[in-house]
Structure 1
């Protein structure tokens, strides 16, 4: 049994570069994370690629997902990365830092308590709201609002998980910012209570 803690759990075959990982984070086998921030309690399963992303807490990311803001330079004479990873190819040349800065500025933002299904692709510049669900193999090209369920290619919202009233109250509660101890104390209620009863018990 894996016991997670303050130190992120990174599978020996995973790679994490220039990234910030929170507490209770798990990075699965064969996954690659670069230039990203992943919040507390979030995890990705095997063979997932994440780059230039800011991911909130409690994200549930399935296998073979690509959250990757890495467009090629379509306006240049060549798409190839010899034009921006030039140090790999030419002695005395440096990489094109301005290009990587552009990629970072077009990064991906994913909220708290999200679920990204198997094989989904999240395109550069997209924001996915708190509590949203992305279906398996979806290609997300546009923003997805809080607590929406989006599926398909390109992804489109098919329903909201909760009414606007419930969604607003849940957003305002921000249970994802609770301490580890409070989460543990509330565990029986997370398991047993319906959403309305849970809100009534913990609001205010």
Structure 2
């Protein structure tokens, strides 16, 4: 069993460049993370490519997920990377830095406690709200609201995880910002939404409504 700690755990086959990894994080095997903020307790399962992104705390990223994939200049005569990786082809002394900068300027933003399923692709510029679920194999081209389940190609919302008032109450708690001591004392509450809300926001007698299909 792997025991995590405040020091990020990065698999020996993975590469992390110009990024910040929070405490209790794990980067699975054969992954590449570049220019990314990666929040506390978040993890990748492996074979992930993540670039130019801001990822919140407690995110669960399944294997083969791609976040902010490479783009090609389809508006040019050729969309081949000979026009922007031109040094590699001996066509110039410099690459097309403006083209590479576009993807950096269109970073992906992922909230807290987001679950991204196996093989999903999150396109440049997309924002995924806290608590959302992205289905396996989805291609996310548009923003996804908090606590929404989105699936398909292109990904479309199919239903919220909770009724709107309950989702808003959870968002207001900002439980993902608990310090370690608070988490250790109260983590069992995270298993039961009713007891959590009763203690956190005083919703005694008002049971949480999970939206069912």
Normalized against structure 1, the TM-score is what? 0.93
Match of 1:202 in 2: 200
Deviation string, structure 1 residues 157-184 (Cα, Å, up to 9, x no partner) = 1110111111111111100111011111
Give yes or no for contact 1:13–1:31 (8 Å, CA) kept in 2.
yes
RMSD: 1.6
Q: Which runs of 5 or more residues in structure 2 are unaligned?
A: 203-213
Match of 1:78 in 2: 78
SS of 1:36's equivalent? strand
Q: Which runs of 5 or more residues in structure 1 are unaligned?
A: none
1:103 aligns with 2:103: yes
1:181 aligns with 2:200: no
Match of 1:19 in 2: 19
Deviation string, structure 1 residues 88-126 (Cα, Å, up to 9, x no partner) = 333861222222221111121111000000111111111
Provide the rounded CA distance (Å) in 1 between the counterparts of 2:161 and 2:32.
Answer: 30
Which segment is superposed worse, 90-99 or 102-111? 90-99
Give yes or no for contact 1:139–1:155 (8 Å, CA) kept in 2.
yes
Provide the rounded CA distance (Å) in 2 between the counterparts of 1:134 and 1:91.
Answer: 41
Normalized against structure 2, the TM-score is what? 0.89
Match of 1:43 in 2: 43
Give yes or no for contact 2:87–2:94 (8 Å, CA) kept in 1.
yes
Match of 1:55 in 2: 55
Q: Report how many aligned residue pairs link the two structures.
A: 202
Provide the rounded CA distance (Å) in 1 between the counterparts of 2:85 and 2:25.
Answer: 30
SS of 1:88's equivalent? coil
